[in-house]
Amino acid sequence: MSLGGGPAAGRRAFALPAGFPSEGRGRIVGGMSDARINPFFAGLACRCPGCGRGPLFGGFLTVRPRCEVCGFDLQSADSGDGPVFFVALVGGCIVTFGAFFVEMKFEPPIWLQIVIWLPLTVLICGVLLRISKSMLIAYQFHFKAAQGQVAAPQRPQTPDERKEV
């Protein structure tokens, strides 16, 4: 099965940057393409981390169960609260410094500050949240991140056991 098959074959809504496989190159091996996908570009474009062409999201922030182009299993993708924390931090800094600058420079009434900065906060956080979630998922798949596990404690070796090795 080549990467060109599937319902979205032949349709491309954007130009793929360097790092994405071209049409017809690569093959699917165990759900992953053997062509290397750049996780930065896959995340930035909100595309499947397996093939780089299928959409990652079914809704605004809902991850699809499978890629519709390559069939890559996306159900195990869990970005958790990581993107929300960084978006709140970055978006909050942008809005806070912007509001502080406007207040010091122009001294507008408070109602105007609310009218300007409240919708801008929602817009900035919404855009950044979608991109940061897709980038985190792409990097999770790229580095094969898995759930952490605690190893069973090992008993210390006796001096006799160390000599045998």
Q: Return the HEC string of 114-139.
A: HHHHHHHHHHHHHHHHHHHHHHHHHH
- CB distance 94 to 87 below 8 Å: no
Pairing of strands 32-33, 28-29: antiparallel
- C-alpha to C-alpha distance for 84 and 79, rounded to whole angstroms: 9
Of the chain, the percentage scoring pLDDT greater than 90 comes to 55
Cα Rg of the chain (Å, integer): 23
* Burial of 93 per CB tally in 10 Å (0-12, 13-18, 19+): exposed
- Range from 21-30, 51-60, 82-91, 138-147 carrying the lowest mean pLDDT: 21-30
- Range from 10-24, 78-92, 119-133, 136-150 carrying the lowest mean pLDDT: 10-24
- Confidence band of 146 (pLDDT split at 50, 70, 90): confident
The β-bridge partners of 33 are 28
Report the pLDDT averaged over residues 7-22. Answer: 46
Torsion of CA 62, 121, 17, 48, to 10 degrees: -10
Does residue 137 register a pLDDT over 90?
A: yes
pLDDT digits (tens, 9 = 90+) for 21-71: 444 444 444 444 445 789 999 999 999 998 999 999 999 999 999 999 999
- CB distance 68 to 41 below 8 Å: no
pTM (whole model) above 0.75: no
